[in-house]
Chains A and B, each alone.
Chain A
Amino acid sequence: MKLKQLEGYLGEVASFKEPKVQLEQYPTTAHLASRMLYTAETAYGDIGDKAVVDLGCGCGMLSIAAAMMGASSVVGIDIDTDALAVAQDNLGALEVEDVVELMRADLCHRPTDGSSLELSQQLLAGMRAKFDTAVLNPPFGTKPGNKGIDVVFLQAACLMARDAVYSLHKSSTREHLIKKVQSWGYKCEVLAELKFDVPMMYKFHKKKAVDVEVDLLRIVLREAL
């Protein structure tokens, strides 16, 4: 599949009906998703014939893109039932129900004493290294109470996948994240700097649309540092 063709199909993916600010639900654009999955497949061969997991799948954009780039099996995981309902409709509309399935789960353990977020170790116990590739556009962790959630999502991705992780992050967090990933023993590279077009979705948005600089990170799990 050509990049333009993929982006065109992904333009049909419906977005959040009522996005929830606490969950940092910003839709992954067709532009970003197509470039991310196209690169993962054409440059690295990490999607075709692979088992892929999409963490924080929202409306299913990355899951659908993975299916279109030839993944053999995709699991999209999200905490929000409304987003998953939209995702389910999208799977039907884009005809990828045979390859993609969805699951509702919380990857984070949120301690009630207000201490920082942790990985849901118990939930992930059976899912370790069951996938080849993880793709994600995680919450950036900019809302109160969400601090560090981007790192927890990355950690989950590194546990669940065997080969590689592709993830989108605010460019301003680049050094912090690369250090984190290296401390887990993996190589992390910035594949591209992209613009994340965030439309005016929430009341606190004053400008009509803002471009947020994002990095497409690739973590190589196959080779230890």
Chain B
Amino acid sequence: MRLITHNMLKCHVKNCKEPDKQFPLQFKDAKLEQIEAERNNEFLVRMLPRIDWPALLKTTKELGIIIPEKVPANPADDDEFLQALHTAILEMHVKEGSMVCNGCGHEYKITKGIPNMLLAEHEI
């Protein structure tokens, strides 16, 4: 589970009705592993508008990953920013742990890097 994907996940339990707290899901007991990946600046810049920055910032802080507070005016020219972004969203993998909804408390488990977004019948 990488943060680029975590940034798209909202709690989808049927009775979870607090939209402000459904996102981002909060990591619990997260075991991190960094897997090196080739950096592609053009790709990173293109993905930027699709990322919810405040949510990413909150999550990286909780995990102890450092990224700048704000997206620079010209991200394409900012090597340091691009490297931090690349590492945070594409190289850091949460291998074990869970993601908890701050609204309803539902826990989405992560096992061997695979988050389980399936819900029990009564939660759908």
Q: Do A and B bind each other?
A: yes
Q: Which residues of A contact B (CB under 8 A)?
A: 49-51, 72-73, 75, 79, 81, 84-85, 88, 97-99, 101-106, 109-110, 112, 120, 122-123, 125-127, 129-130
Given known pairs A98-B37, A101-B2, the reply for A51 and B114 (CB within 8 Å) is no
Main SS of chain B's interface residues? loop
> Can you list 18 A-B contacts (CB < 8 A)?
A73-B4, A79-B118, A84-B114, A88-B114, A101-B1, A103-B5, A103-B114, A103-B117, A104-B114, A105-B117, A106-B119, A110-B124, A112-B121, A122-B12, A126-B7, A126-B8, A126-B23, A129-B50
**Given the contacts A101-B93, A103-B5, A72 and B40 also touching, CB distance less than 8 Å:** yes
Using known A-B contacts A49-B40, A126-B10, A130-B50, determine if residue A101 contacts B118 with beta carbons closer than 8 Å: no
Q: Contacts of A84 on B, CB cut-off 8 Å?
A: 114
Q: Which residue of B lies closest to A79 (CB)?
A: B118
B2 in contact with A104 (CB, 8 Å): no
Complex CA gap A126/B108 in Å reads 16
- Nearest-neighbor residue (CB-CB) of A128 within chain B: B8
Chain B contacts of A73 at CB under 8 A?
2, 4, 43, 90
Interface residues of B (CB under 8 A from A): 1-2, 4-5, 7-10, 12, 14, 23, 35-38, 40, 42-43, 47, 50, 90-91, 93, 112-119, 121, 124
Contact check, A98 vs B38: say whether CB atoms are below 8 A apart.
Answer: yes
Contacts of A81 in B (CB 8 A): 116
What is the distance, in angstroms, from A195's C-beta to the closest C-beta of chain B?
32
Closest chain B residue, CB of each to CB of A125 = B10
Which of the residues B14, B23, B43, B116 comes within 8 Å of A104, measured between beta carbons?
B116
For the complex, give the distance between the alpha carbons of A81 and B37 in Å.
Answer: 26
Question: How close is A140's CB to chain B, nearest CB, in angstroms?
Answer: 22
B3 nearest CB across to chain A (Å): 11
CA distance A126 to B116 in the complex (A): 16
Taking a contact as CB atoms under 8 Å apart, the answer to whether B117 and A88 are in contact is no
- Please, how many angstroms separate the alpha-carbon atoms of A42 and B35 in the complex? 28
Chain A residues within an 8 Å CB radius of B7: 126
A49 adjacent to B42 (CB under 8 Å): yes
Pair A127/B8 contact, Cβ less than 8 Å: yes
What's the nearest-Cβ distance from chain B to residue A174, in Å?
A: 32
Contacts of B118 in A (CB 8 A): 79, 104-106
Give min CB distance, A121 to chain B, whole Å: 9
Set of chain A residues within 8 Å of B9, measured between Cβ atoms:
126-127
Nearest residue, chain B, Cβ from A51: B47
- Check B114 against A102 for contact (C-beta < 8 Å): yes
**Is there an interface contact between A123 and B12, defined as CB atoms closer than 8 Å?**
yes
A103: chain B residues within 8 A (beta carbon): 1, 5, 114-115, 117
